[in-house]
């Protein structure tokens, strides 16, 4: 047995606590009204996207939209979009002790997207597209692995490698589909999102 | 001392987009003196600058551009007002109520402005209670804003502005998106409000007939200038002279009585869900080619549902709809024309629907092609929607409130284009509240009520025989 | 009535009642958690709707219980052999125990998300950050609006022939085009929303959330008992009095005085808020009927 259930309890409190600390520090930084509404719009889009594709397992634009939010609106926006997408969509898809973990995982995906693809570092090019796709793929794998591990720990409290590998390999098709759908959505949505968000950002001086 | 004084105001938009550089001043030497407690109407054709003028009175959201001249509000230059004073004293209502609602609950929407001002909880409670009582929102105070009707939303937005107890209320085309029923109730609320609070109100609106009766004065604008500022009666005369003269549209072609049917509906029934009432109840009608039909009726009479059924978006549950040709080309311009837009520029929209760059319809030439289709005025959006389906030469053309947001100029273009369609054999069916518009363009008219259509009558005969539906 | 409580006490009560037993390994506590969870469902949902969910829960129960013995073979009581491997009673019971609590917590969380309505969530977020609360309230307002718009939008675009019948990729491309069109619409309109917020003074002063929920005596009572309960159970958790060993044979820890104490506190406490609540609602129901007559 590798893990004990107490670790989850402790990590749950740690995660919820650190989320609360991060949230309570948000007001320290000024964010313009227009940026705030854009964050809300992008989060709503990702949640509505989860609805639209609710019937297809694993095929969701959620992470792609969160990554694009991070890229075009910055890491704070990406983080909030990720956290709130997870939290609010779970009101329809089921809340549970997993919610804080999902919030942090998706939030970090958005946060790092914002840090890695900041405008200064990356000009629009095919190289950038490839890096974005790789990032999407890694995020997909990371997110599904993370949640699978968490589910195992949550259900049985402890596990050995054999059972874990069995679950992971059973979930491989799902993970692959999820990661590929991330990449697919990023390829399809990057150009229109970039164009339209860019237009709004220059037009309204955000 | 004047309450609001505008001296020689000039304004020119800055361009955010290199491909389009606005020419000329949007506002040119505008001067106005407004006393406390007056209701002022601003009117003028689309693009005369009335909306810009209103927005310049609200510093935080004033458009970017070159501005000269003074605006003096309560003895202070507008630019000297603190942000807090600006927010508290001047309230602005935009055209579309849907976009202005920020929260998901009615009570919270009313509280939103007060929360921003950082008022104490007990005082907020008091103000919210007052506003809910005044606007009679008690029954919906805990509802989700998403469940309200269009008219209720507009009222809620007004209520939440008034919660902040402003001294000056600016309304930017508050009723042009509303149907006659809601427009009337909105106006009567305004009247009551003015009577009780004595608040100063400036309304920019082209549906002048609604607002003129409650105004003290009317300012008529044309090409960025104020051409008349007088009592409503006098100003109306000036305004009407400004509009292009009403030329009777070329006499309608006599329709061959036995042209082929484009759509026929037999004993159709439809309801949205098991528990609801029938929207269509044993409805039968024939629609012929090359004829323009107009359907009247109050809100929720089922007009839009009928159009949806004819378009094939919905299916009848009993009875039958048959189309004259096997696979008819159906064009449908819904009440919310924005549903038709797909591109982020007007030019993109036109090219998407099959036009080449130099061959766009003449009536779209005046539009700013590189702007977003969503930046157009309500009437201009209708024209763009019409342009999008023009190349299709549809067999059946369905229109839901086609004259919405249109001023007389744009209406005229709409008449012309619709006539062209009808002459080419299109069967046009529209649902409208606008009797003037219908009388000019429709060949046959009917009223929808209790799930049925009254028998179609020739337009002239219809207006002669109906006492209430008459002009 | 639970929906009249302050959001903070609802949150603390629900979390204490569901999460603490979840981290013990004690079938008695787990069963209690599941039973009280179901009782809690009855405080707001129709019996019919709850019964509809039961098959799903049973299925989950079976999957989770049976998964374990297929991968864990260390238990002394062998029921039978699967492909040469032991299928032990202990492993099966371990799985069943895990399933009990996973379902128990899920049931509790269903009620939690029912009672944590939008305005209650907003109040909790508002305590942390007004910016966050504003964003959340915007999102909650936008979602139903977007959901109905995108439905109408897809239908209209379909009517205008945007959906080419074609390969999967072509259809996906059409979907993306529609999504981009929808994005343009939502972005443009959101700028008016931003203007409406600015013109109503967003950002001119320190924003203060309007509170419609006040902390009452009952809220304080609930929070205090919850905290005591968390401390008591937490202490037992750390000292291991709730532990059960499944392998190789099932051995429950000899339960000390404190364990029994905290367990009974838990039972009394949960019943206090669920069963008593149920009776109260029924009383109210009868009273209303009488007054109508």
Q: Which residues of A touch B17 (CB under 8 A)?
A: 202-203
CATH architecture of the region A5-13+30-203: Orthogonal Bundle (1.10)
Measured distance between the N- and C-terminal CA atoms of chain C, rounded to whole angstroms = 25
Measured in whole angstroms, the distance separating CA B360 from the mean position of its chain's CA atoms is 25
C290 — pLDDT class (breaks 50, 70, 90): very low
Residue A84 has pLDDT above 70, yes or no: yes
Q: Residue A33 has what pLDDT?
A: 92
Cβ–Cβ under 8 Å, residues B226 and B220: yes
Q: Residue B430 has what pLDDT?
A: 94
Q: What is the pTM of this model?
A: 0.91
Q: Which residues of A touch C142 (CB under 8 A)?
A: 40-41, 44
Distance CA B321, CA B92 (A): 47
B12 — pLDDT class (breaks 50, 70, 90): confident
To 10 degrees, what angle do helices A33-52 and C168-199 make? 150
Question: Shortest CB distance from C206 goes to which of B88, B118, B128?
Answer: B118
Percent of chain C with pLDDT over 90: 27
Q: Residue B39 has what pLDDT?
A: 95
Distance CA B218, CA B227 (A): 11
Distance CA B389, CA B395 (A): 11
Q: Residue A8 has what pLDDT?
A: 79
Distance CA B436, CA A23 (A): 57
Region A6-33 average pLDDT: 88
Please check whether residue B115 touches A, CB under 8 A.
Answer: no
Return residues 167-196 of A near B (CB < 8 Å).
Answer: 195-196
Q: Residue A133 has what pLDDT?
A: 94
Instruction: Select from B144, B146, B344 the residue whose CB has the most chain A CBs within 10 Å, as the one to mutate to test that interface.
Output: B344
Does C187 contact A196 at a Cβ distance shorter than 8 Å?
yes
Residue A76 has pLDDT above 50, yes or no: yes
Question: Shortest CB distance from B344 goes to which of A199, A202, A205?
Answer: A199
Please check whether residue C144 touches B, CB under 8 A.
Answer: yes
Contacts of residue C235, Cβ cutoff 8 Å, sequence gap at least 6: C258, C262
How far is B127 from chain C, CA to nearest CA, in Å? 12
Distance CA C266, CA C260 (A): 10
Q: Residue B236 has what pLDDT?
A: 87
Give A113-136 pLDDT, tens digit per residue.
999 988 666 677 788 899 999 999
How far is B194 from chain A, CA to nearest CA, in Å? 31
Helix (H, G, I), strand (E, B), or coil: what is residue C252? Answer: strand
Nearest CA in chain C to A184: C172
Q: Residue B62 has what pLDDT?
A: 85
Question: Shortest CB distance from A88 goes to which of C109, C139, C184?
Answer: C139
Instruction: Select from C97, C134, C139 the residue whose CB has the most chain A CBs within 10 Å, as the one to mutate to test that interface.
Output: C139
C131 — pLDDT class (breaks 50, 70, 90): very high
Give B102-152 pLDDT, tens digit per residue.
999 999 999 999 999 989 999 999 999 999 999 999 999 999 999 998 889
Cβ–Cβ under 8 Å, residues B9 and B23: no
**Residues paired with residue B285 on neighbouring β-strands, in sequence order:** B265
Question: Shortest CB distance from C64 goes to which of A27, A45, A155?
Answer: A155
Domains of chain B: 4-242 (3.40.50.300), 261-465 (3.40.50.300)
The chains in contact with chain B, meaning 3 or more Cβ pairs closer than 8 Å, are: A, C
Residue C33 has pLDDT above 90, yes or no: no
Tokens representing residue C97 in the block:
């125990």
Distance CA C11, CA B460 (A): 68
Q: Where are the domains of chain C?
A: 2-116+216-292, 122-199
Q: Residue B305 has what pLDDT?
A: 92
Percent of chain B with pLDDT over 90: 40
Distance CA C3, CA C120 (A): 10
Return residues 76-115 of C near B (CB < 8 Å).
Answer: none
Query: What is the overall mean pLDDT for chain C?
Result: 82
Please check whether residue B123 touches C, CB under 8 A.
Answer: no
C277 — pLDDT class (breaks 50, 70, 90): low
Q: Where are the domains of chain A?
A: 5-13+30-203
Residue A22 has pLDDT above 60, yes or no: yes
Please check whether residue B374 touches C, CB under 8 A.
Answer: yes
Cβ–Cβ under 8 Å, residues B403 and B432: yes
Region C218-232 average pLDDT: 82
Residue B17 has pLDDT above 70, yes or no: no
Does C191 contact A95 at a Cβ distance shorter than 8 Å?
no
Indicate the burial class of C82 (C-beta count within 10 angstroms; 0-12, 13-18, 19 or more).
exposed
Distance CA B43, CA B46 (A): 9
Residue B7 has pLDDT above 60, yes or no: yes
How far is A63 from chain B, CA to nearest CA, in Å? 24
Q: Residue A39 has what pLDDT?
A: 96
Region B189-195 average pLDDT: 93
Give B310-365 pLDDT, tens digit per residue.
988 889 999 999 888 888 889 999 989 999 998 888 998 998 888 888 888 888 88
Distance CA C48, CA C25 (A): 32
Instruction: Select from A3, A34, A40 the residue whose CB has the most chain C CBs within 10 Å, as the one to mutate to test that interface.
Output: A40
Beta-carbon count within 10 A of C69 CB: 23
Query: What is the overall mean pLDDT for chain B?
Result: 87
Q: Residue C275 has what pLDDT?
A: 56
Distance CA B337, CA C153 (A): 10
C40 sits in which H/E element:
helix C27-42
Nearest CA in chain A to C95: A156
Cβ–Cβ under 8 Å, residues A45 and C183: yes
Residue C14 has pLDDT above 50, yes or no: yes
Q: Which residues of C touch A23 (CB under 8 A)?
A: 125, 128-129, 132
**Residues paired with residue B452 on neighbouring β-strands, in sequence order:** B449
**Among A138-147, B400-409, C172-181, which range has the highest average pLDDT?**
A138-147
How far is C63 from chain B, CA to nearest CA, in Å? 37
Beta-carbon count within 10 A of A54 CB: 13
Does A45 contact C109 at a Cβ distance shorter than 8 Å?
no
Question: Shortest CB distance from A44 goes to which of C109, C143, C194?
Answer: C143
Q: What is the dihedral of CA C128, C133, C135, C139, to 10 degrees?
A: 130
Q: Residue B260 has what pLDDT?
A: 81
Region C203-218 average pLDDT: 86
Q: Residue A2 has what pLDDT?
A: 39
How far is A146 from chain C, CA to nearest CA, in Å? 18
Cβ–Cβ under 8 Å, residues B11 and B27: yes
Closest CA to B222 of B202, B233, B234, B206: B206
Contacts of residue C22, Cβ cutoff 8 Å, sequence gap at least 6: A97, C33, C101, C104, C105
Does B344 contact A203 at a Cβ distance shorter than 8 Å?
no
Please check whether residue C191 touches A, CB under 8 A.
Answer: yes
Between B242 and A59, where is the model more confident?
A59
Does B16 contact A196 at a Cβ distance shorter than 8 Å?
no
Residue B449 has pLDDT above 70, yes or no: yes
How far is C268 from chain A, CA to nearest CA, in Å? 24
A159 — pLDDT class (breaks 50, 70, 90): low
Does A203 contact B17 at a Cβ distance shorter than 8 Å?
yes
Q: Residue B446 has what pLDDT?
A: 93
Residue C263 has pLDDT above 70, yes or no: no
Region B76-81 average pLDDT: 88
Residue C248: asked if its preceding bond is cis (omega within 30°), the reply is yes
Between B228 and C241, where is the model more confident?
B228
Beta-carbon count within 10 A of C200 CB: 28
Biggest CA–CA distance in chain A, Å, is 58
Return residues 113-142 of C near B (CB < 8 Å).
Answer: 118-119, 122, 134, 137-138, 140-141
Does B64 contact A203 at a Cβ distance shorter than 8 Å?
no
Tokens representing residue C195 in the block:
């203007």
Nearest CA in chain B to C203: B116
Q: Residue C273 has what pLDDT?
A: 60
Contacts of residue C139, Cβ cutoff 8 Å, sequence gap at least 6: A40, A43, A44, A47, A84, A88
Cβ–Cβ under 8 Å, residues C181 and B342: yes
Return residues 40-69 of A near C (CB < 8 Å).
Answer: 40-41, 43-45, 47-49, 51-52, 61
Three-state SS for chain B is CCCEEEEEEEEEECCCCCCCCCCCCCEEEEEEEECCCCEEEEECCCCCCHHHHHHHCCHHHCCCEEEEEEEEECCEEHHHCCHHHHHHHEEEECCCHHHHCCCCEHHHHHHHHHHHHCCCHHHHHHHHHHHHHHCCCHHHCCCEHHHCCHHHHHHHHHHHHHCCCCCEEEEECCCCCCCHHHHHHHHHHHHHHHHHHCCEEEEECCCHHHHHHHCCEEEEEECCEEEEEECHHHHHHHHHHHCCCCCCCCCCCCCCCCCCEEEEEEEEEECCCCCCCCCEEEEEEEEECCCEEEEECCCCCCHHHHHHHHHCCCCCCEEEEEECCCCCCEEEECCCHHHHCCCCCHHHHHHHCCCCCCCCCHHHCCCCCCCCHHHCCHHHHHHHHHHHHHCCCCCEEEEECCCCCCCHHHHHHHHHHHHHHHHCCCEEEEECCCHHHHHHHCCEEEEEECCEECCCEEHHHHHHHCCCCCC
The chains in contact with chain A, meaning 3 or more Cβ pairs closer than 8 Å, are: B, C
Region C267-284 average pLDDT: 57
Residue B471 has pLDDT above 50, yes or no: yes
**Residues paired with residue B283 on neighbouring β-strands, in sequence order:** B268
Q: Residue C285 has what pLDDT?
A: 45
Beta-carbon count within 10 A of B248 CB: 6
What ipTM was reported for this prediction?
0.92
Q: Which long-range contacts (CB under 8 A, 24 or more apart) does B76-83 make?
A: B83/C201, B83/C203, B83/C204
Residue C232 has pLDDT above 80, yes or no: no
């Amino acid at each position: 047995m590798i893990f004990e259930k107490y670790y989850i309890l402790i990590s749950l409190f740690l995660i919820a606590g650190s989320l609360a600390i991060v949230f309570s520090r948000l007001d320290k930084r000024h964010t313009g009204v227009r940026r705030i509404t854009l964050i809300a719009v992008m989060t709503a889009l990702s949640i509505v996207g989860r609805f639209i594709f609710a019937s297809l397992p694993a095929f969701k634009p959620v992470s792609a939209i969160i990554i694009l939010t991070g890229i075009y609106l910055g890491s704070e926006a990406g983080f909030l979009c990720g956290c709130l997408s997870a939290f609010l969509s779970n009101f329809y898809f089921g809340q549970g002790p997993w919610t804080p973990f999902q919030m942090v995982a998706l939030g970090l995906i958005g946060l790092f997207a914002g840090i890695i693809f900041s405008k200064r570092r990356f000009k629009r090019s095919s190289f950038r597209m490839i890096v974005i796709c790789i990032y999407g793929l890694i995020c997909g794998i990371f997110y599904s692995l993370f949640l699978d591990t968490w589910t195992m720990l949550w259900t049985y409290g402890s596990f050995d490698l054999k059972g874990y590998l069995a679950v992971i390999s059973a979930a491989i098709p799902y993970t692959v589909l999820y990661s590929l759908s991330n990449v697919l959505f990023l390829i399809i949505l990057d150009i229109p999102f970039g164009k339209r968000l860019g237009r709004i950002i220059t037009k309204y001086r955000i | 001392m004047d309450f609001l004084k505008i001296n020689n105001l000039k304004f020119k938009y800055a361009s955010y987009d290199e491909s389009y550089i606005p020419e000329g001043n949007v506002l040119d030497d505008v001067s106005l003196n407004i006393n406390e407690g007056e209701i002022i109407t601003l009117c003028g054709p689309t693009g005369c600058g009335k909306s810009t003028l209103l927005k310049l009175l609200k510093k935080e959201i004033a458009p970017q551009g070159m501005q000269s001249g003074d605006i003096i509000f309560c003895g202070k230059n507008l630019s000297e007002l603190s942000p807090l004073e600006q927010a508290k004293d001047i309230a602005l209502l935009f055209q579309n109520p849907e976009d202005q609602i920020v929260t998901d609950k009615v009570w919270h929407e009313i509280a939103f402005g007060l929360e921003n001002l950082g008022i104490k909880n007990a005082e907020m409670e008091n103000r919210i209670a007052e506003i809910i009582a005044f606007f009679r929102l008690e029954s919906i105070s805990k509802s989700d804003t998403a469940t309200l009707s269009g008219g209720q939303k507009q009222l809620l937005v007004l209520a939440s502005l008034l919660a902040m107890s402003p001294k000056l209320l600016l309304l930017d085309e508050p009723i042009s998106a509303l149907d006659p029923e809601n427009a009337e109730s909105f106006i009567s609320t305004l009247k009551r409000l003015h009577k009780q609070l004595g608040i100063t109100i400036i309304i920019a609106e082209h549906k002048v007939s609604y607002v003129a009766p409650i105004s003290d004065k009317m300012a008529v604008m044309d090409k960025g200038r104020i051409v008349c500022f007088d009592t409503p009666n006098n100003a109306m005369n000036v305004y009407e002279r400004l509009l292009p003269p009403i030329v009777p549209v070329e006499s309608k072609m006599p329709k061959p009585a036995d042209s082929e049917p484009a759509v026929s509906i037999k004993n159709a029934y439809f309801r949205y869900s098991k528990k609801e009432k029938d929207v269509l109840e044993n409805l039968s009608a024939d629609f012929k080619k090359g004829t323009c039909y107009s359907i009247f009726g109050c809100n929720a009479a089922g007009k839009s549902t009928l159009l949806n059924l004819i378009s094939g978006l919905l299916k009848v549950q009993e009875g039958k709809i048959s189309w004259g040709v096997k696979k008819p080309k159906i064009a449908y311009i819904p009440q919310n024309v924005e549903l038709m837009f797909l591109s982020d520029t007007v030019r993109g929209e036109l090219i998407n629907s099959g036009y080449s760059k130099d061959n766009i319809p003449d009536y779209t030439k005046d539009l700013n092609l590189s702007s977003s289709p969503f930046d157009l005025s309500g009437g201009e959006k209708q024209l763009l929607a019409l342009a999008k389906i023009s190349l299709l030469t549809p067999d059946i053309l369905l229109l839901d409130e086609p004259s919405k947001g249109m001023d007389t100029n744009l209406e005229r273009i709409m008449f012309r284009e619709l006539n062209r369609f009808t002459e080419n054999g299109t069967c046009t069916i529209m649902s409208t509240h606008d009797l003037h518009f219908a009388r000019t363009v429709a060949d046959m008219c009917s009223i929808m009520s209790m799930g049925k259509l009254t028998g179609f009558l020739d337009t002239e005969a219809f207006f002669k025989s109906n006492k209430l539906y008459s002009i | 009535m639970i929906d009249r409580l302050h959001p903070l006490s609802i949150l603390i009560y629900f979390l204490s009642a569901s999460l603490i037993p979840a981290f013990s390994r004690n079938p008695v506590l787990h069963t209690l958690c599941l039973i009280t969870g179901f009782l809690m469902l009855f405080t707001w949902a129709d019996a019919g709707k709850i019964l509809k969910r039961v098959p799903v829960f049973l299925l989950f129960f079976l999957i989770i219980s049976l998964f374990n013995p297929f991968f864990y073979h260390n238990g002394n009581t062998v029921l039978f052999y699967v492909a040469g491997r032991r299928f032990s009673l202990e492993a099966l019971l371990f799985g069943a125990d895990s399933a009990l609590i996973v379902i128990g917590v899920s049931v509790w969380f269903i009620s939690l998300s029912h009672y944590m309505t939008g305005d209650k969530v907003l109040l909790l977020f508002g305590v942390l950050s007004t910016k966050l609360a504003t964003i959340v309230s915007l999102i909650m307002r936008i979602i139903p609006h977007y959901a109905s718009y995108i439905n109408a939008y897809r239908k209209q675009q379909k009517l205008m022939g945007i959906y080419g019948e074609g390969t999967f990729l072509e259809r996906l491309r059409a979907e993306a085009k529609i999504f981009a069109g929808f994005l343009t619409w939502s972005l443009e309109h959101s700028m008016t929303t931003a203007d409406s917020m600015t013109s109503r003074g967003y950002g001119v002063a320190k924003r203060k959330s309007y509170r419609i929920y006040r902390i009452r005596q009952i809220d304080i009572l609930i929070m205090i008992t919850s905290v005591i309960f968390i401390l008591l159970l937490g202490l037992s958790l750390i000292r291991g009095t709730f532990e059960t060993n499944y392998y190789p044979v099932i051995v429950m820890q000899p339960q000390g005085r404190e364990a029994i104490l905290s367990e009974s506190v838990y039972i009394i406490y949960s019943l206090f808020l669920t069963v008593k609540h149920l009776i109260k609602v029924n009383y109210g129901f009868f009273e209303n009927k009488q007054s109508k007559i």
